[in-house]
Chains A and B, each alone.
Chain A
């Protein structure tokens, strides 16, 4: 089954404790992206990747890192999480661009 998977689905952590949210897709898609969704603010793009070893900032990249060492994986790294990074995070992928993306199930993060 074609899908985008994210892990963990739920995470509670404390300020400053490094964490990684994994994202994997099995559709051989070149394009992958991370979003965060907050009430009243909609979906905002954090980082995206056009292909392996090619990443770029979205609209809200501060406090996040990404890497794209393999085509199927695009982990989101929070080196020193802060409470304002409490949010619902979505990973997405598509064949070449963001117009027709497949989204993962989401990761709900709470930073205390």
Chain B
């Protein structure tokens, strides 16, 4: 399982676009990149998953450069309710184990 590095915490303001970068230098060919969001006192929630280039859904976008050694989760026009911990995970799809790491604590200010 590839080790990931993310910032411990970030602050931003309502209405801004927030980008959280995750480094995964030893990503393997069959690894996917997955992001989860966790609100206080709740279980993590799947946000987005990708393999290369760009993936977009109704919640976020995921940008993955050609070398795949990093990825950026982009949250457009954040609101106070986006305050949460965001986890970057890297591993093969349908693998049996997963490592969450400590995540990035995002704090949105009014």
Contact = CB atoms under 8 A, between A and B. Distances in A.
Interface of A: 4, 31, 33, 35, 40-45, 48, 50, 56, 58-59, 90, 92, 96-106
A97 B100 contact: no
Given A41-B102, A42-B103, A97 B93 contact: yes
Nearest to A98: B98
Interface in B89-110: 89, 91, 93-103
Nearest to B91: A99
Interface residues of B, number: 23
Nearest to B32: A99
Given A43-B87, A90-B43, A106-B42, A99 B94 contact: yes
A25 B95 CA distance: 20
A104 B43 contact: yes
Given A56-B96, A100-B46, 4 more contacts: A40-B102, A97-B95, A105-B42, A106-B41
B71 interface: no
A45 B100 CA distance: 8
- Chain A CB within 10 A, most for which of B87, B94, B98, B101: B98
- Determine chain B's interface SS by DSSP, over half rule: loop
Q: Which of A31, A100, A105 is most buried by chain B, counting CB atoms within 10 A of its CB? A: A100
Contacts of B32: 99
Interface in B61-85: none
Given A99-B49, A99-B91, A92 B43 contact: yes
Given A99-B34, A100-B49, A105 B43 contact: yes
A108 to B, nearest CB: 8
Contact of A58 (B44, B89, B97, B101): B97
